[in-house]
């Protein structure tokens, strides 16, 4: 089955293709000729995910899924949340975002956080959403070069390494995106047998 993943983020495409395996042909936005930046102006992860998938489905007539992910920090009342990618401004710079996050957490004892991903799938048969959550805590010690975003300062529950220190294969076993995509893949496989 051919599916478009509504993103221009090559890190995400690589992660998801590893999870999908050979059962599905994953197309990127570039593969379908979509060069425009997809809007993300909703106030929830669910809304942004749906907005992107709907745009691709409506304008390119292809089954697709889109995701939106937020880092939700307890001591910051769930911030940066839906604004994670642009927390420090529209330039969407990961280093700037991390610096602002750590600045806002200075002096706080509770460093519990979670990554939450919402994936929206749209096909001719309907719209479905899947959620994945990874709990852990923030560390002030940036470590690792793998991954992207807040990975260098996030330590998953049960681990001592940051997500940026884990091999992609290990991260794919536990990540929020992996958990949401595993639900998506299970749904798609069940659909193939209907």
Cα separation, 172 vs 98, in Å, equals: 22
User: Virtual CA dihedral for 146, 150, 155, 156, nearest 10 degrees?
Assistant: -90
Domains of the chain (ranges, CATH numbers): 2-192 (3.90.950.10)
Catalytic site residue from 31, 58, 67, 68 = 68
Cα separation, 26 vs 175, whole angstroms: 19
- Tens of pLDDT, residue by residue over 121-170, are 999 999 999 999 999 999 999 999 987 899 999 999 999 999 999 998 88
Q: List pLDDT tens digits, range 114-129.
A: 999 999 999 999 999 9
3-class SS string, 56-88: HHHHHCCCEEEEEEEEEEHHHCCCEECCHHHCC
In this structure, are residues 47 and 39 in contact, taking their beta carbons and an 8 Å threshold?
A: no
pTM of the model: 0.89
- 43 is a catalytic site residue: no
């Amino acid at each position: 089955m051919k599916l478009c993943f509504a993103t221009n983020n090559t890190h995400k495409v690589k992660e998801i293709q590893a999870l999908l395996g050979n059962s599905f042909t994953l197309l990127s936005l570039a593969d379908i000729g979509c060069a425009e930046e997809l809007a993300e102006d909703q106030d929830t992860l669910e809304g942004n995910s749906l907005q992107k998938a709907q745009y691709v489905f409506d304008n390119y007539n292809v089954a697709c899924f889109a995701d939106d992910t937020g880092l939700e920090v307890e001591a910051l009342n769930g911030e940066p949340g839906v604004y994670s990618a642009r927390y420090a401004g529209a330039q969407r710079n990961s280093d700037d975002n991390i610096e602002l996050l750590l600045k806002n957490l200075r002096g706080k004892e509770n460093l519990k956080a979670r990554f939450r991903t919402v994936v929206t799938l749209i096909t001719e048969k309907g719209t479905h959403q899947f959620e994945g959550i990874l709990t852990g805590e923030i560390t002030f010690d940036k470590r690792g070069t793998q991954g992207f975003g807040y990975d260098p300062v996030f330590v998953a529950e049960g681990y001592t390494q940051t997500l940026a220190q884990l091999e992609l294969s290990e991260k794919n076993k536990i990540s929020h995106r992996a958990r949401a995509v595993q639900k998506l893949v299970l749904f798609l496989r069940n659909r193939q047998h209907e």
